[in-house]
Chain A
Amino acid sequence: MNSSNLIGLDEIADAFAPDHPEGGDFPTDFNEGVAARVRAREEAAGFEAGRGVETEETFFEAREQAVEAATPEAAHPGPAEALDRARNWAPRWLRRASAIAPTGAIKVATAKGAKGAGASLTAGPLVALAAVVVVGSWLLASALRLSDEQPEKAEAGKRSLWTSSLSPAVASTVLVLLLIVLSGSAGSHALLLAAAGSILLLGTLSILRVHFGTDATSADALATTLASFLGQVGFPLWIAGGHARVGLESLVGITVVLYGALWLGRHLTLEEAERLPVVRARRGLFLVSLIAGSGLLLFRYPFGRTDDSVVEWIASFDEPHDELLDWEDLQALAETLPADALQSLDRERLASLIQPGLGDLHPSVVEAASALELVPDERLKDDLELALDSLERSQRGSDLSRSNWTPAAVRLLVRRGDWTPADRAALETAMERDWPEVDRYGALREAEELLRLADVAGIAGFTARHAEDVARLLERRIVRCHPWLDPVSVAGFETEDQPGLAVPLWPVGRASLDSTVAGVRLMERLLSLAPERYAALDVDVAGIARYLDGEARGYVLMRDATYAPRAAGALRRLEAFDPEGARDRIARPLRLVFVLGAVLSVLLAVGAVARAGRRESVFSGPAV
């Protein structure tokens, strides 16, 4: 159907014009109504009569006081807290830059900044960041160029080579900075991959062409190749997007290892045979230990790995009631705990955190807190009455609005013993009606919410009836995980209305994470309902796990911005039902890379020793 033949929005607006206040201009009347309400409320709250609005100075002070009153721990926030809070709202590229740089090097502006959070990357930190990248690129370029020369020539022209590496270093710096800035947009990471891949290919070919097969430095050429490989591929990737996937500690560790490897590789390449073999052997072993150590860093357990770590985190949870995301994350993580650990939680303390703001709770917080039994029944009466009201209307002929039926309301009814078969039937009808089409945007999350509601409401058979739909939903989305660009397809949830549209390679948005979490829950259900159907999907569990693992590790680096608890909760679920161990599958390819690296390094060390020994026998003959 041609869109020009469709009914116009103007006509729809006209049809609903009677809803506007009688007579007059709707926008003007509406705005006056809002202003009148504001005035009335302000006067009722003790504002000076007739003043209208407070002065700007007073307003700002009042705002700060109100924030302090609402969040006691925010009264005198330390630098770290202020930074984290601001990071929540900073643009992605700035969060990444501030995360990569040493602590405090880049300060994300707080609300007191002239343009709000996230707008001020000041000149000093920018220069510092640029300097870091310049030095790094300089080292890489020098190593690459030096390796492209015969050792003797390189030694002779060492100074000039280092000097001449400055231009490519600057160019690389500009490229890396540009990529960091662009990293919030779709496709920038593809560009990054292409750039890094090209550099790797050219560098490797050039090194191999010059050195490989010569009698002098074949082992050294391999060393340089390996170091270049790691440096050229790994460094830019980790810089631009890796922090959310490997964590700060690993990032620092790997960077040190890479630079160390380059330094050693350069010396191995340039050193003459008069060096003692034992020195080379020691350096080779040092290289091995560095690489192995970086591997251990990579496999460090991410946040939320064990029940104890989850319980410990919940015990330290002290966010106020209006931190929406944190409370949802808390619930998502807590529900993965076994019953005994769940019972051991200090609910009184959590309830005391959330209950001061019961009147203002966001619906999602109500649900999260209700699931943890932190909300008193009185607070849930609102939900209950709304649900019952909707039910009553449905009995008079209207459709039951499923959106009025929150799990919290149903849970309360069930607990009170007021949940009747008629209620169940009415809700089931509404849920069947609202079951999403597989191709619809958000279908995955909607389906998962409905299934959860069915569980709470005790609607038997609902999940089983929709098992095939669940399989199709997963087939359409989750299965599309690419083995190397793993999160790409997960992010495809955001483009369901436009199949085939390009999506970011490294999504860090909440929408993609929520969809993935919902997908994991659906996978869990399908596996229990129809294992053979689940097996037929051949879901890329490792791809999903890698994505969640990266988000969970992000907790180390950016606690507020990465939704790590929710990701960790989903990862725990994944591990619980994946017999092969999702986390092991994540680690396998990485482990393989580092094992290969270690083996190569050992070979290098042995080769260097052997070669040095031969040369010594040649050159160190009779001294006199």
Chain B
Amino acid sequence: MTSPSRTRSAAPVCAVEANDSLDEALTRIVDRWRGPLVGMLRGWRVADPVEVAQDALAELWLGRARFRGRWDDEGAVGAWLRGIAWNLARSSRRSAARGPAGLDEADDRPHAGADASETVDQTERADRIRAAVDALPEDQRTVVLMCALEGTPSKRVAALLGITERAVEGRLYRARQALTETLGRSPERNPAVAQS
């Protein structure tokens, strides 16, 4: 379709794909940023990162008129989204009941995919991983969570954090190193992981 209106609207909506409709453009934006955004909010110890991430992406979409960059410039979109997320995270923390907002806070929720056959060892292992990630320095914790959730490439993580790709890779490596050391020292180390 090459009508003037299509050509005209494709760029400002989202340059992910020239022929996207608005719904498709929104979906593409959300698909692109969902994983790293949730991870970043977890890294910031936001109590409900998924909710806040959904709010942030909705805010990004609704406020797109004020965005002056190019939608295919991940650095520009990432910076814009980071600012929105930061403001929402701050509001979320303010309104949330005061209490520990660490990564363990979500323990009370039902585990997706948890079933009766899940072994106690696996649960304990997951708990220990969560605790170990929680103990990482903030910059490493944030990066590892951003990369881990949906296998987000380091380039996009870097765009959202406003740092270089190499920095992301460096932090990720150090984080995994620290996690391996922490978890490896424990007597209940998971043999499957040890072999990997």
Contact = CB atoms under 8 A, between A and B. Distances in A.
13 contacts: A9-B147, A12-B144, A13-B150, A15-B133, A18-B110, A19-B38, A56-B8, A66-B65, A360-B63, A386-B90, A441-B163, A441-B166, A441-B170
Given A1-B177, A56-B6, A57-B5, A360 B145 contact: no
| Interface size bracket, A side | 35 or more
Interface string B61-85: 1111110111111001000000100
A293 B110 CA distance: 77
B102 A398 contact: yes
Contacts of A115: 11, 15
A22 B94 contact: no
Most buried by B among A7, A116, A494: A7
Interface string B107-122: 1011111100000000
Contacts, number: 236
Contacts of A88: 68
Interface in B156-179: 163-164, 166-167, 169-171, 173, 176-177, 179
A4 B193 CA distance: 11
Contact of A111 (B11, B44, B87): B11
B100 A403 contact: no
Interface range, B side: 35 or more
B50 interface: yes
Contacts of A12: 129, 133, 144-145, 148, 179
A85 to B, nearest CB: 7
Contacts of A19: 38, 42, 49-50, 106, 109
B130 interface: yes
Secondary structure at the A interface, as helix, strand, loop or mixed, is helix
Contacts of B176: 3, 6-7, 9
Given A66-B66, A495-B166, A38 B111 contact: no
Interface in A35-62: 35, 37-38, 41-42, 45, 52-54, 56-57, 59-60, 62
Interface string B3-34: 00111111111010000011100110011001
Interface stretch (A25-33, A157-165, A448-456, A457-465): A25-33
A615 interface: no
A232 B7 CA distance: 45
A18 B109 contact: yes
A404 B11 CA distance: 37
A393 B166 contact: no
A382 B90 contact: yes
Interface of A: 1, 3-24, 26-27, 30-31, 33-35, 37-38, 41-42, 45, 52-54, 56-57, 59-60, 62-67, 70, 85, 88-89, 111-118, 322, 324, 360-363, 382-383, 385-386, 389, 392-393, 396-398, 401, 403-404, 434, 441-442, 494-498, 501, 511
B30 A30 contact: yes
Given A12-B144, A14-B126, A322-B66, A441 B164 contact: yes
Nearest to A9: B148
Contacts of B22: 53-54, 56, 59
A195 B127 CA distance: 60
Interface string B84-103: 00110011011000111111
A389 B42 contact: no
Given A34-B30, A401-B45, A56 B13 contact: yes
B70 A6 contact: no
A6 B27 contact: no
Nearest to A74: B68
